[in-house]
Amino acid sequence: MPNLQHLTDWSAHDGRFLIHVRPCVLSVFEAYVQRNTSDPESGGILLGIVHGSHLELVHATPPFPTDRRTRYSFDRDLEGHTEIADQLWHESKGIIRYVGEWHTHPEIIPSPSGIDLIEWKTSAAKRTDGRPLLGLIVGIKGIYIQSTSASGKALVYDVLTKNV
């Protein structure tokens, strides 16, 4: 079964905006890929370090028991996710921060639903730090990444291929 571990570096607008996903984050995603018809959607929050216009994803929370999960939906509860975000924020002295949301789709190559796009736009408009919200969807063999600004402008990222 192919894994997602090679999907570490992403780019938008000819490399002006880069995202690096640490292997520990990809491991969380890999654990919740919906490979079987009985697997529910999963998700959590994304925590990262901002480097100018670039972003490093350093932590993804797993789903918690209070989250609502079905085959085709995921509704994150605040319990658990907020505590981890607060803990990492304080331990890092404000370096590691909330940057967005992730969830799975039971698709080979995922794409956002209309509900996803509306939720990302609404959540981006509520951000107090003025930064775009990162929305990430994990599929069976791929990942979709989009940032949405407070004005609703969307920027889609493409994986950077590595020459081995």
Residue 3 lies in a domain: no
Q: What is the pLDDT of residue 58?
A: 98
Nearest to 74, CA basis, from 21, 136, 150:
136
Q: Which of 41, 83, 91, 119 is catalytic?
A: 41
Residue 28 lies in a domain: yes
Structural domain for 39, as ranges: 9-158
79 catalytic residue (yes or no): no
pLDDT tens readout for residues 1-56: 346 877 899 998 777 899 999 999 999 999 999 999 999 999 999 999 999 989 99
Q: How many domains, the chain?
A: 1
Q: Please give the Cα distance from 62 to 60 (Å, whole number).
A: 6
Contacting residues for 69 by C-beta, under 8 A, at least 6 apart: 40, 41, 42, 63, 75
Residue 95 lies in a domain: yes
pLDDT tens readout for residues 42-74: 999 999 999 998 999 999 999 999 999 999 999
pLDDT tens readout for residues 96-147: 999 999 999 999 999 999 999 999 999 999 999 889 999 999 999 999 999 9
Residue 163 lies in a domain: no
Residue 57 lies in a domain: yes
Q: What is the pTM of this model?
A: 0.93
What CATH number does residue 60 fall under? 3.40.140.10
Residue 1 lies in a domain: no
Q: Please give the Cα distance from 48 to 50 (Å, whole number).
A: 7
Where is 31: in which H helix or E strand? helix 23-31
Residue 164 lies in a domain: no
